């Protein structure tokens, strides 16, 4: 079938218009007044990404103007929460700029809550400030729309184009419009990937009629990882998946409950179960259990152990706080801003938290680089902070020339959240413009053949379906193709059972991981035969392919790190203890684009912040 092809040439191409993508689009215009800036989004940037529904708090704000926190404090906080392993150059760089981002949100009209006594932003916790955030995403989208030459909505990017004169330099991206089916070629001097994290790679707790209900955005399908991985970019800390403790069945957030409402957890007998697991945890991780605040994974660990020991269900004690009418209102409003579904779940289960303590649970694992976890691309840091192993010319550039990342895409720098992701988008865009201005993007060659080959590949699932359905004599199951949902469930089962998901209480080991890799290989092969009956299913097919590549990378990393660094996120049953002697390092992988094989290496962790202070003191 003849298909329309649209070719767009630009200087800066932003893939994904979520928090990081809108930040990148906005900042690219500031530094590149005369450049052509294009943002391509799978949904519609007004309501896309993890912040689509809104947020109730901005989780990363230093408050430097009031002396509340300094970037150094944030680096120490993130390092502690990630059990010692973060890229401190990236974290510091984000933290020193994040306040200016939040001040712009304020100027742009985001309703911020203020402390009536001090006039400062209302704190929810040490790092969080409270907002009326239903309009958060449309506000940042407006800034991007005013900055871009063009925003393309409803286009899913499936592949990066590569320069044919330098195989390690990017040349743009291709994708398709999910409504019209048109093929889009974006030839670009630089590409900033800001395509969010990865949900639905592990089997979710919500299956059957609840399928699609996840904690992280269900449409975050790992493109942020698959695109750079397939282009041969190095990745880091992909084993560091995150498991969240959330209100059961609705995945409602607990941050405001702990921090603002001062609610607390207890087991079914009303006991503080966390204390019970102190000695056992100390055996596994040593002094890390004595750190303050207790690292998120270790709190999860106590939860998981208590449930396995028969102490469940675990409850959030809300009955006390909800006696205060103000706190009761805050408790409910917390969901209205971002997870209204939790209130609906409670209504359906007859739970009024004023009279019944609601249940908590631990989620299936997710992969992302902006929340309390740091999976993602291995990128260059800023020139003034980064040691040689962390610096190769342009801030937030991956190991592929001209290919930048921001937000969930970037590894090693946890706790950026919405404001930090927008900030990182700004940093990446500034560097991308510099890369162009310094003539690093000259003479990129992308042939028609490369674009035509991708076109054939992208639409193949439609072809598979059109041909294969003729073989079906009854029902919907084809002997020749699998549907995206069948492929997704197969992927989730492999990841769940072999790579440490919910049904095995996050446990895995070398044998399981090797078997998982083998099964993922078979799945990859079968995905050549995925069938799509329409453009929406074509999107599902490509989401699945991106999720599968991401999963392979996660599994390779999990196999490589021979210790249990983050009990509560996952366990290596054959190496149950944290091993600082051998594994106080970052893991880095690269997939060879020609062979599809991964190679792994260790990279040093530099505690830059404290070393800097020691030097200044001496
Ligand atoms: C449930 C939940 C609660 C959170 N709570 C808070 C909070 O209270 N406070 C806070 O500060 N932060 C919070 N966060 C974190 C915050 O939302 C993220 O840190 C931030 O959105 C990450 O930015 P990003 O741009 O990397 O990803 P996103 O904002 O998710 O944007 C990614 C974008 O890429 C698009 N995309 C994906 N694939 C493709 C493709 N192939 N082609 C084109 N486009 C594509 C997506 O549609 C999306 O628009 C929360 C996140 C979640 C999920």
**pLDDT score for 127:** 96
Q: Indicate if ligand 1 lies below 6 Å from the C-beta of 42.
A: yes
**pLDDT score for 259:** 84
| Residue whose CA lies nearest to ligand 1 atom number 29 | 18
Q: Indicate if ligand 1 lies below 6 Å from the C-beta of 71.
A: no
Q: Indicate if ligand 1 lies below 6 Å from the C-beta of 418.
A: yes
Nearest ligand 1 atom to the CA of 158 is: 41
**Predicted confidence band at 581 (pLDDT cuts at 50, 70, 90)?**
very high
Q: How many C-beta atoms surround the C-beta of residue 218 within 10 A?
A: 15
Q: For residues 527-541, give the mean pLDDT.
A: 97
Residue 275 has pLDDT above 70, yes or no: yes
Residue 387 has pLDDT above 80, yes or no: yes
User: d(Cα 598, Cα 589) in Å, to the nearest integer?
Assistant: 6
Q: How many C-beta atoms surround the C-beta of residue 610 within 10 A?
A: 13
Q: For residues 304-330, give the mean pLDDT.
A: 96
| Residue whose CA lies nearest to ligand 1 atom number 53 | 216
Residue 616 has pLDDT above 80, yes or no: no
Counting ligand 1 atoms within 8 A of each CB, the residue from 51, 95, 99 with the most, and so the one to mutate, is 51
**pLDDT score for 436:** 98
Residue 618 has pLDDT above 70, yes or no: no
Residue 336 has pLDDT above 80, yes or no: no
Ligand 1 centroid distance, CA of 368 (Å)? 9
Residue closest to 400 by CA, chosen among 590, 188, 195, 550 = 590
Q: For residues 378-407, give the mean pLDDT.
A: 97
User: d(Cα 482, Cα 532) in Å, to the nearest integer?
Assistant: 9
Nearest ligand 1 atom to the CA of 17 is: 49
**Predicted confidence band at 213 (pLDDT cuts at 50, 70, 90)?**
confident
| Residue whose CA lies nearest to ligand 1 atom number 50 | 50
Buried b (16+ CB within 10 A) or exposed e, 51-73: bbbbbbbbbbbbbeeeebbbbbe
Q: For residues 246-263, give the mean pLDDT.
A: 90
Q: For residues 267-289, give the mean pLDDT.
A: 96
Q: For residues 403-417, give the mean pLDDT.
A: 98
**Predicted confidence band at 1 (pLDDT cuts at 50, 70, 90)?**
low
Residue 562 has pLDDT above 70, yes or no: yes
Measured at the CA of 518, the angle between CA 514 and CA 520, to 5 degrees, comes to 115
Residue 86 has pLDDT above 80, yes or no: yes
Residue 265 has pLDDT above 80, yes or no: yes
Residue 95 has pLDDT above 80, yes or no: yes
Q: Is the pTM of this model over 0.85?
A: yes
Residue 487 has pLDDT above 90, yes or no: yes
Q: For residues 213-242, give the mean pLDDT.
A: 95
Q: For residues 150-178, give the mean pLDDT.
A: 98
Q: Indicate if ligand 1 lies below 6 Å from the C-beta of 239.
A: no
Tell me 568's DSSP state.
T
What sign for the dihedral angle of Cα 317, 319, 325, 328? positive
User: d(Cα 462, Cα 532) in Å, to the nearest integer?
Assistant: 5
Ligand 1 centroid distance, CA of 18 (Å)? 6
Residue 612 has pLDDT above 70, yes or no: no
Residue 228 has pLDDT above 70, yes or no: yes
Counting ligand 1 atoms within 8 A of each CB, the residue from 57, 417, 425 with the most, and so the one to mutate, is 417
- Which of 62-71, 190-199, 229-238, 336-345 has the least mean pLDDT? 336-345
Q: For residues 401-408, give the mean pLDDT.
A: 98
Counting ligand 1 atoms within 8 A of each CB, the residue from 418, 429, 544, 545 with the most, and so the one to mutate, is 418
């Amino acid at each position: 079938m003849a298909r329309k092809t649209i070719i767009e040439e630009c200087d800066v191409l932003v893939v994904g218009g979520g928090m990081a993508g809108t930040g990148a689009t906005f900042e690219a215009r500031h530094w590149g007044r005369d450049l052509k800036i294009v943002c391509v989004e799978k949904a519609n940037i007004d309501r896309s990404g993890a912040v689509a529904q809104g947020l109730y708090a901005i989780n990363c704000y230093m408050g430097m103007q009031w002396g509340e926190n300094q970037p150094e404090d944030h680096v120490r906080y993130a390092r502690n929460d990630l059990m010692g392993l973060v890229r401190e150059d990236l974290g510091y760089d984000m933290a020193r700029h994040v306040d200016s981002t939040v001040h712009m949100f304020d100027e742009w009209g985001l309703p911020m809550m203020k402390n009536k006594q001090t006039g400062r932003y209302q704190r929810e916790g040490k790092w969080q400030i409270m907002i009326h955030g239903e309009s958060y995403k449309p506000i940042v989208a407006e800034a991007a729309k005013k900055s871009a030459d063009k925003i393309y909505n409803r286009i899913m990017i499936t592949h990066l184009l590569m320069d044919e004169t330098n195989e390690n330099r990017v040349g743009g991206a291709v994708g398709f419009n999910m409504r019209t089916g048109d093929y889009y070629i974006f030839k670009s001097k630089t590409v900033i990937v800001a395509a969010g994290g990865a949900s639905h790679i592990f089997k979710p707790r919500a299956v059957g009629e609840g399928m699609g209900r996840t904690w992280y955005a269900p449409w975050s399908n790992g493109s942020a990882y698959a695109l750079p991985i397939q282009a041969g970019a190095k990745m880091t800390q992909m084993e560091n998946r995150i498991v969240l403790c959330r209100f059961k069945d609705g995945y409602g957030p607990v941050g405001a409950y702990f921090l603002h409402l001062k609610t607390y957890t207890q087991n079914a007998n009303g006991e503080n179960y966390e204390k019970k697991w102190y000695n056992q945890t100390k055996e596994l991780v040593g002094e890390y259990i004595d750190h303050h605040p207790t690292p998120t994974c270790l709190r999860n660990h106590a939860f998981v152990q208590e449930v396995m020991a028969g102490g469940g269900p675990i409850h959030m004690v809300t009955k006390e706080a909800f006696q205060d009418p103000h706190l009761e209102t805050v408790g409910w409003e917390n969901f209205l801003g971002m997870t209204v579904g939790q209130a609906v779940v409670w209504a359906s289960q007859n739970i009024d938290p004023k009279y019944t303590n609601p249940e908590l649970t631990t989620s299936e694992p997710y992969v992302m680089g902006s929340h309390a976890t740091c999976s993602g691309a291995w990128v260059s840091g800023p020139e003034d902070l980064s040691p040689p192993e962390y610096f190769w010319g342009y801030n937030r550039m991956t190991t592929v020339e001209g290919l930048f990342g921001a937000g969930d895409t970037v590894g090693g720098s946890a706790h950026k959240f919405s404001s930090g992701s927008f900030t990182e988008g700004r940093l990446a865009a500034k560097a991308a413009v510099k890369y162009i201005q310094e003539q690093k993007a000259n003479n990129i060659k992308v042939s028609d053949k490369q674009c035509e080959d991708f076109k054939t590949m992208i639409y193949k699932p439609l072809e598979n379906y059109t041909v294969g359905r003729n073989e079906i004599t009854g029902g919907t199951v084809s002997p020749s193709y699998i549907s995206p949902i069948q492929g997704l469930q197969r992927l989730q089962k492999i990841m769940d059972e072999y790579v440490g998901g919910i049904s095995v209480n996050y446990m895995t080991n070398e044998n399981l991981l090797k078997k998982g890799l083998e099964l993922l290989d078979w799945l990859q092969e079968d995905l050549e035969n995925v069938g799509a009956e329409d453009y929406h299913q074509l999107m599902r097919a490509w989401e699945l392919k991106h999720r599968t590549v991401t999963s392979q990378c996660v599994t390779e990393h999990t196999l490589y790190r021979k210790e249990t660094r983050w009990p509560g996120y996952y366990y290596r049953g054959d190496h149950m203890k944290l091993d600082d002697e051998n594994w106080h390092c970052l893991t880095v992988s690269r997939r060879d684009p020609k062979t599809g094989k991964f190679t792994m290496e260790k990279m040093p962790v530099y505690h830059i912040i404290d070393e800097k202070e020691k030097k200044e003191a001496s």
